[in-house]
Structure 1
Amino acid sequence: MLSKQEELVLSPYYELYNQVVPKDNLLRQTKELVDFSFILDELKKNYSIDNGRNAIPPIRMFKYLLLKVFYDLSDVDVVERSQYDLSFKYFLDMAPEEPVIDPSSLTKFRRLRIKDMKLLDLLIAKTVEIALEHNLLLGKSIILDATHTSSRYNSKSATQYLQELSKKLRKTIYQYDEKMKESFPSKPDDGSYQEELTYTEQLVSVVEQSPQIAKVPSVKEKLNILKEAVEDSKHNTHFSTDPDARVGHKSEDHSFHGYKTHLALSDERIITAAIITSGEKSDGNYLPDLIDRTKKNGVEIEAVIGDKAYSRKENLIYANKEKLKLVSKLHPLITNGRRKD
């Protein structure tokens, strides 16, 4: 059940935050700059208002996910660190003495509660809103570009990704005790997911039975990330085979397997819109959508700058219709529909 109102943090120890979390701390600055109530508005439809126990505040759960990204931590490690790191507790709107959540609650939240949320559009819109409030968007031109994002597997299966995580764990362990190699299970030969999963679980078991190694912070973090990957793969989240990735081309002789992130950026290099597609999609197709999304986010546009991929005929017509100046080198195919040498 979702509480109808947010609870205020009341604690006789709250003043500790002013003593130990400096003003230039990233988490303090983020907390004081961003009003995260928009997350509650987006997530409340996924909660009951009058049935069940009170839920952990959705804003706090979302902030846990941000901490995972900021510091590259597993669910277990981000919760553990929030027990003793007062900058984490301050960011999470917790009292210094308040107990932390069970990591399983965070796992459930990211697998179920934020499913189908358009997080990218939501976060970009909020970023632009904050930039406008602080007069950080002064220009009236945007730059269009596309970045190439390799699939999580680079044409690899979940099996191969588990292999990579296992390798990172072993490599870290060897820095402390190379003799551990003798205790590890034999690597599977057939390359099937089930065989790799069994090997990974056996590897995890061996490491956990050696507490003097398992408790080394760098080992522990990689161990927990591997364990999380195993469980996520079983639930087909994050680490499942990637059927939507496609082969795209950065140049005529350089291809990649994955995605493209089509971006609109202000003169100040603030992202104003983004669209993620499979790797084979043409950059020029997304000029109208990027401009429309940028305008929807409250940014005024007079000029659009991009490479020759954006100078297709349809975009020239669109820019003229919208009274925008399109600064883009003409593609060789534009003239009479023929490539000019």
Structure 2
Amino acid sequence: MTTPMFNPLVAALIDALADPVILVEGQRLMAINRAARDQFGFRLANSDIRLAIRHPRVLAAITAAERASLEVEGLGRADQPWLVEVTPIDDDVVMVRMIDRAAQRAAEKMRVDFVANASHELRTPLAGILGYAETLAEDGAMDEPTRRNFARTIESEAKRMLRIVTDLMALSRIEADRFVLPRTQIDFAALIRKAVEDNEALAERRACVIATDIEPDIPAVRGDEAQLLQLADNLIGNAIRYGCGEDCEKITVTVRRSGRDRLRLAVADKGPGIAPEHLPRLTERFYRVDAARSRNSGGTGLGLAIVKHIAERHRGTLNIASALGTGTTITVDLPIAR
């Protein structure tokens, strides 16, 4: 870790830093902290710095012994982004600190993708509304059935835009409160019965039956009633839209204890199921297994993302189990109120 002339206290201080840090004297590697050894395999104090770092921009900054802040890749893994800060300590010694930027870059990419996806999802129905509205505004005769059809399409696309905006706003509110644990005691059995009742009209239109199996004397949970109702509504609505069809005429909603201190909500269908490669991405915003079917069913692509965030805010867990041809079961475990 140190040379005989190197202060052990300074060595201990840089070793306590979470970021990789090295101290360089001229072109000699004086000291390496634990994070640098773990990340890059730097082992040899007193060795030439060029044996440890081969990036030309970083080497040039170290050799110049001037303060610099560099965004680079190629240290460690080829695609790993780093912010490298070179700080002169005295005339001969510089400290090189490497800050991992992978998480920040992933967050930036997520924001860019989110804006692009949201813009696309809103632009598609808006283009339809404008097209039909322009046709209706044109001079000339139009038969009544055509006019009604255009008006219904405009109404349908406008409602779709409203659902997307509503879901985006809900997701934003949930994320804003994600660190605030709800304190209100909620009668979870009654809440699930209400969610089932709210979805009866949709089930009737889809020729689907909602079967409920709620264990007696279910204890309360601590939660945000509106958010938990939205969670249940999204799960039941999705099961009706995508799990009910010619081969499946029933979905099952089950509420039971799960261990000593948790409740489990399970929504199951015997529909077509979901291929394994899609399962890890189902809770991503705007991710769809079948985009055309989702839009035709009235989905926004945000339902399971909302469910995941509500479950996390309530210190719960979400699990999705599905296989092609056998159906899908989504479970949410929530802590019992104490």
The normalised TM-score by structure 2 is 0.25
Higher RCO (C-alpha 8 Å, min separation 6): 1
The normalised TM-score by structure 1 is 0.25
